[in-house]
Amino acid sequence: MENPTDTAAGPRETGGPLAGTVVADLSRALAGPHAAMLLGDLGARVIKVERPGSGDDTRGWGPPFAGPQEEPVSTYFLSCNRNKESVELDLKAEEGREQLTRLLRVADVLVENFRPGVLDRLGFGAERLRAINPRLVVCSITGFGHDGPEGGRAGYDQIAQGEAGLMSLTGPDPHTPTKSGVPIGDLLAGMNGAQGVLAALYERERTGRGRIVRTSLLSSIVGVHAFQGTRWTVAGEVPRAMGNHHPSIAPYGAFACADGVLQVSVASEGQWDRFAALVGLEPGDSRFASNADRVANREELTAELERRFKEDGRDRWLERLTGIGIPCGALRTIDEVYEWEQTRSQGLVIEVDHPGLGRIELPGPAIRFDPDGAAEDEPAGDGRTAPTGGHRPPPMLGQHTAAVLAWLDATAGERT
């Protein structure tokens, strides 16, 4: 797949729903960069503004690093900065602030995840941003919200997972609170930020004016409590971690078999009847007759099932369960996921030419766009998985400074 060409003349012509949209990305770490990357996946031109010399904090987060020792590249940085250009600006200096002002005059979106008050101290508070560009949509991501009694707190993902209750729901038992294996608060905040930007851009088509979109790690985690939240707010129950089993459905979870672990979800009485017959249980057994009975007697049911599952291997059980229409699956390691043909068929692995690393593979975007007139049975290709017509590698620090500043010179006065 060819990478779109960098030009100093203007936004890259790559197509996609956000083609022609310019995003100024002042964010660092993960939540803001993830939001900006999602916009870049949709075709926006994302210009990442970084500190001279050091850049985004994640450029130094590792190991693991890739490339030569004298110029190592953080794999963490690579994960959240595809489809961007990098510009070095010192926002503590007058010249850097002037260049940022020029960029914001022509930008459609600003993404930032500073602590509350930092942008104001840099001279880019809400009123100033409106004066610079009334059409600007601002995406502001914080740790615990921009206001409230603890709005000024720094927000790091694991801290937010704990404060927002997620760790109390995750882990083998109520006594072992456990963080998610990925920084889920950051990622959810990035997704919510991008969603808010899209809504604000749509609204701008009617009003001609931008607005500030706010989200936080706290709100993003609380916002996905789902049925665990209503267990407390409605039923008055405090949910607790219970390992790899569903709190409201049984059997639904992970079970040991002869040579590994499989996952099974039996979510209806019809499925239970078929499942019970397959594993040698009496469907009408009073202990397990209804889902409520099975949840109440979960430990006994789990012991019965694992005794039966251990009689054969995982793949054999998966074949049998799939054959009678029971949702089931293996537990894959990350390397197995990226080698899985189904993963690759969905465009979830992309190739880019990195200026320092050469040809590399990256996790791909979760959204696919079929081209007009594409048949449902047509094999997936670059045009269906990349609405921009191609992906750009995460940039080297300052790689596009000269080109972007030249573009700002060429477009001075064209947009206000």
376-405 residue pLDDT tens: 555 444 444 455 558 999 999 999 999 999
CATH (residue range 252-332): 3.30.1540.10
125 CA to centre of own chain: 27
Element (H, E) at 65: strand 65-66
215 C-beta neighbours (distance < 10 Å), count = 26
Average of per-residue pLDDT values in the chain: 91
Question: Quick check: 56 pLDDT over 80?
Answer: yes
User: pTM of the full predicted structure?
Assistant: 0.89
pLDDT at 283: 85
Q: Does the pLDDT at position 254 exceed 60?
A: yes
What does the pLDDT read at residue 78?
Answer: 97
More confident residue, 415 or 29: 29
Q: For domain 22-224+347-411, give the fold.
A: Rossmann fold (3.40.50)
pLDDT value for 70? 87
Q: For tokens 């001075």, what's the residue?
A: 412
C-alpha dist (Å) from residue 96 to 136, 250, 378, 395, 396: 19, 59, 49, 20, 19
Q: What is the pLDDT of residue 406?
A: 95
Tens digit of each residue's pLDDT (9 = 90 or more) over 309-357: 999 999 999 999 999 999 999 999 999 999 999 999 999 999 999 999 9
DSSP per-residue string spanning 332-363 = --HHHHHH-HHHHHTT-EEEEEETTTEEEEEE
Which DSSP letter does residue 152 get? Answer: T
- Give the DSSP H or E segment for 261: strand 260-265
Catalytic residues: 186
The pLDDT, as a whole number, for residue 382 is 44
- Domains in the chain: boundaries: 22-224+347-411, 252-332
What pLDDT sits at residue 414?
57
Domains 22-224+347-411 and 252-332 share a fold: no
Segment 204-224 shows an average pLDDT of 97
* Alpha-carbon gap, residue 217 to 156, rounded angstroms: 8
Residue with tokens 């870049």: 40
Angle, vertex CA 161, rays to CA 156 and CA 165, nearest 5: 145
Name the phi and psi angles at 255, rounded to 5. -135, 140
As given in the structure block, the two tokens for residue 114 are 């500073």
Q: Which of 174-183, 195-204, 374-383, 400-409 has the lowest mean pLDDT?
A: 374-383
